[in-house]
Structure 1
Amino acid sequence: MNVARLRRMGRHLIELSKSAAGPTKGPALTPGEEAVFEDVLRHPGSAVGEIQARTGFVQSHVSASVARMRERGLLETAQDPADGRRTQVRVTDVAVQAVLRRANLPVEEAVRAAVRDDARAERVLGLLTELETLLTHEDTD
């Protein structure tokens, strides 16, 4: 395994997850908007400068992405009560509910369609479960 193969596998897993989730309502997010959205989802109440620092995008890109997603009802902004010069960004309740609905969809059908062999699909699903456990849970030993 090397970095290139790991990245290729990551992209393939992202495509599988998108396939399992099905089409979204409205226009799809650009990759940059998706990164900004995910950052705001993980860090609600962040200022544009904080989002910029975490994502690595230039501030104008973050501001434009926030504005477009605000127009679409995905994000909302408000003045920081502690500092009126700062604008805080958060994901709307409607968008959070949509994310939660999609996050809980099963992936088995998408994996079976991608692998097209029942035995291999079952093995892939088992390996994905094991990989998730190994990468996302702290060792208790």
Structure 2
Amino acid sequence: MNVARMRRLGRRLVELSKAAAGETKGPPLTPGEEAVFEDVLRHPGSTVGEIQARTGFVQSHVSASVARMRERGLVQAAPDPGDGRRTRVTATDLAMNAVHRRAGRPVDDAVRAAVGDPERAARVVALLEELEALLITA
């Protein structure tokens, strides 16, 4: 496998995970907003500058993404208690509940729809579980 094929596989796995998770309420996040939201989930209480440093987006893009997600009720921003000029960003309880509901859904049906054959689908799921065990650390 080379890098190009690994990237292609990664994109396909993201497509399958989205299919398994199902539709979301409201308009979908843009890819940039999705990256910012994922960073907020991984690093709650981060400043816009910290999110910018981790995602590589320009600060204006992160700020605009946070503002749009605030309007949709996905994130909340509060002044930093140590430095009132900075804002700390966290996901709202509503967003966290939705993330947990969607994350717990099984992928079997989406994989079965993608490969067609139930036996091949079961093998794909088993291989994905093995990859997870090998590549994802606690």
The number of residues matched between the two structures is 138
Secondary structure (helix, strand or coil) at the match of 1:106 reads coil
User: Residue 27 of structure 1 aligns with which residue?
Assistant: 27
Deviation at 1:118, TM superposition (A): 1.4
1:111-133 CA-partner distances (Å, limit 9, x unpaired): 00000011111111110110110
CA distance in 2, matches of 1:81, 1:120: 54
CA distance in 1, matches of 2:8, 2:100: 26
1:116 maps to a residue whose letter is G
1:64 maps to a residue whose letter is A
CA distance in 1, matches of 2:11, 2:109: 18
User: Residue 10 of structure 1 aligns with which residue?
Assistant: 10
User: Residue 109 of structure 1 aligns with which residue?
Assistant: 109
Secondary structure (helix, strand or coil) at the match of 1:13 reads helix
1:14-36 CA-partner distances (Å, limit 9, x unpaired): 00000001110000000000000
Alignment of structure 1 residues 50-61 onto 2, 5 Å: 50-61=50-61
Flag as ranges the 4+ runs of structure 1 deviating above 4 A.
none
Deviation at 1:96, TM superposition (A): 0.4
Percent of aligned positions with the same letter in both sequences? Answer: 75
CA distance in 2, matches of 1:90, 1:97: 13
User: Residue 129 of structure 1 aligns with which residue?
Assistant: 129
1:53-104 CA-partner distances (Å, limit 9, x unpaired): 0000000000000000000000100000111111110000100000000000
- Structure 1 unaligned spans of 5+: none
Alignment of structure 1 residues 72-87 onto 2, 5 Å: 72-87=72-87
Alignment of structure 1 residues 86-101 onto 2, 5 Å: 86-101=86-101
TM-score by length of 2: 0.98
CA distance in 2, matches of 1:120, 1:126: 10
User: Residue 37 of structure 1 aligns with which residue?
Assistant: 37
Deviation at 1:137, TM superposition (A): 3.6
CA distance in 2, matches of 1:75, 1:117: 40
1:48 maps to a residue whose letter is V
